[in-house]
């Protein structure tokens, strides 16, 4: 029943409990009670998914870090506090830690990297995301969701040659609404309006406007282990350029693929996969990755302690309480307000 409720909310996170109940085998009151119990325990979270590139927030960059064990632990703790870190995990294999940063200005990238590792012996390797084939926010193993553009980066067309939405600007109210929905997708409109400083009608209108612009969709954040997937891995693939599209399409279609993007650097494809257990990694590596065309080399790192997903910190397997607006998104509203004053 919990799985049915999660699936009903995945993509329709603000639906009424009556609508959720219509797609499950329980009543509206039961659906609400069970979901709120899971949410209060930090096991699930409805979040607003957006496209950081189209908003002009920055460019996603995946980073691999390597260092001595004691230093890596404190280094990760500091990384987890940063508002530009969207994802963070400790891994076992050829790296010790993997993070995804949203970098506001690539011209400042070298300075940023120097700042991150200053005073440590940590070494880093970076992979700039140039195209997203599959977003980790969309993954739910028993949910047949429609493809989502939120989170795509780079280029004006997707892998199938379809036009991608162009960059946009948003108003102060839209920025405030979006920043709150990114941490709590089911926040009541009245509470949302009060937090943003607008009327309920304006808040509701901002939600509809953001969705019409394909800047907002709703997803359920849930740890794969709770769904029976106890092994998460990053896969790093060096692929012949001419085979990149076909390889990406085949890998993105695999049910275990949570995330997949094309990147710069020595690995042209970086993916994240969820599997039932560690014993399944061997079969996946040999039969799935081994059958992909044009792959020159493969590296697999096992996630051992995920600390952050979609800006939400994970503590002992549970999601921390929402910590307020995402600062980088709320700042867009400050810019909009300045533009309005200038006009």
User: Contact 135/49 with Cβ under 8 angstroms?
Assistant: yes
Mean pLDDT of the region 27-54 = 94
Q: Does 27 reside within a domain?
A: yes
Q: Does 35 reside within a domain?
A: yes
Q: Which domain holds residue 27?
A: 1-41
User: Contact 164/156 with Cβ under 8 angstroms?
Assistant: yes
pLDDT band at 331 (very low <50, low <70, confident <90, very high): low
Q: Would you state the pLDDT for residue 165?
A: 60
Q: Does 4 reside within a domain?
A: yes
Q: Does 18 reside within a domain?
A: yes
Over the range 269-302, which residues count as b (16 or more CB within 10 Å of their CB) and which as e? bbbbbbbeeeebbeebeeebbeebebbeebbbbb
Q: pTM value?
A: 0.89
User: Contact 155/131 with Cβ under 8 angstroms?
Assistant: yes
User: Contact 168/254 with Cβ under 8 angstroms?
Assistant: no
Beta bridge partners of 99: 63, 88
What whole-number percentage of the chain has pLDDT above 90? 78
Q: Does 92 reside within a domain?
A: no
Half-sphere exposure of 48 (CA within 13 A, CB side): 29
Q: Does 158 reside within a domain?
A: no
Count H helices and E strands in the chain, helices first: 12, 12
Q: Which residues contact 40 (CB under 8 A, 6 or more apart)?
A: none
Mean pLDDT of the region 275-302 = 97
Q: Does 215 reside within a domain?
A: no
Distance CA 238, CA 77 (A): 30
What mean pLDDT value characterizes the chain? 89
| CA-to-CA dists, residue 268 to 70, 104, 230, 236, 304, angstroms | 31, 22, 26, 8, 24
Kindly tell me if the per-residue pLDDT of 341 is higher than 60: no
| CA-to-CA dists, residue 309 to 47, 87, 109, 175, angstroms | 11, 5, 22, 21
pLDDT band at 327 (very low <50, low <70, confident <90, very high): low
What whole-number percentage of the chain has pLDDT above 70? 87
Total domains in the chain come to: 1
Transcribe 18-68 into DSSP letters. Answer: HHHHHTSSS-HHHHHHHHHHHHHTTSEEEEEE--HHHHTS-EEEEEEEE--
Q: Would you state the pLDDT for residue 325?
A: 61
Beta bridge partners of 217: 49
pLDDT in tens, 161-209: 445 567 788 999 999 999 999 989 999 999 999 999 999 999 999 999 9
Transcribe 198-239 into DSSP letters. Answer: S-HHHHHHHHHHHHHTT--EEEEEE-GGGGT--EEEEEEEEE
Q: Would you state the pLDDT for residue 168?
A: 85
| Alpha-carbon torsion, ordered 102, 105, 111, 116, to 10 deg | -10
Q: Does 71 reside within a domain?
A: no
């Amino acid at each position: 029943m919990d799985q049915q409720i999660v699936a009903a909310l995945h993509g329709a996170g603000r639906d009424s409990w009556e609508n959720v109940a219509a797609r499950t085998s329980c009543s509206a009151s039961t659906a609400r009670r069970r979901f709120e119990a899971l949410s209060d325990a930090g096991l699930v979270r409805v979040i607003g998914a957006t496209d950081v590139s189209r908003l002009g927030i920055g460019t996603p960059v995946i980073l691999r870090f390597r260092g001595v064990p004691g230093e890596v632990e404190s280094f990760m703790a500091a990384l987890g506090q940063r508002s530009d870190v969207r994802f963070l995990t400790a891994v076992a294999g050829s790296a010790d830690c993997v993070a995804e940063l949203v970098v506001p200005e690539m011209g400042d990238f070298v300075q940023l990297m120097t700042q991150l590792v200053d005073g440590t012996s940590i070494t880093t390797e970076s992979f700039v995301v140039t195209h997203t084939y599959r977003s980790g926010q969309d993954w739910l193993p028993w949910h047949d969701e429609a493809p989502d553009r939120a989170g795509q980066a780079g280029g004006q067309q997707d892998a199938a040659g379809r036009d991608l939405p162009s960059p946009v600007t948003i108003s102060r109210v839209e920025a405030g609404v979006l920043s709150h929905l990114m941490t709590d997708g089911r926040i009541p409109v009245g509470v949302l309006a009060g937090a943003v400083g607008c009327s309920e009608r304006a808040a509701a209108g901002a939600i509809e406007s953001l969705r019409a612009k394909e800047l907002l969709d709703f997803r359920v954040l849930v740890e794969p282990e709770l769904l029976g997937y106890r092994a998460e891995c990053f896969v790093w693939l060096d692929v012949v350029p001419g085979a990149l599209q076909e390889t990406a399409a085949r890998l993105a279609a695999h049910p275990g693929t949570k995330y997949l993007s094309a990147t710069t650097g020595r690995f042209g494809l970086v993916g994240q996969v969820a599997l039932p257990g560690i014993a399944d990694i061997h079969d996946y590596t040999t039969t799935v990755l081994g059958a992909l065309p044009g792959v020159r080399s493969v590296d697999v790192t096992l996630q051992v302690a995920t600390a952050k997903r979609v800006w939400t910190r994970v503590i002992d397997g549970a999601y921390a309480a929402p910590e307020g607006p995402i600062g980088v998104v709320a700042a867009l509203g400050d810019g909009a307000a300045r533009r309005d004053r200038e006009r």
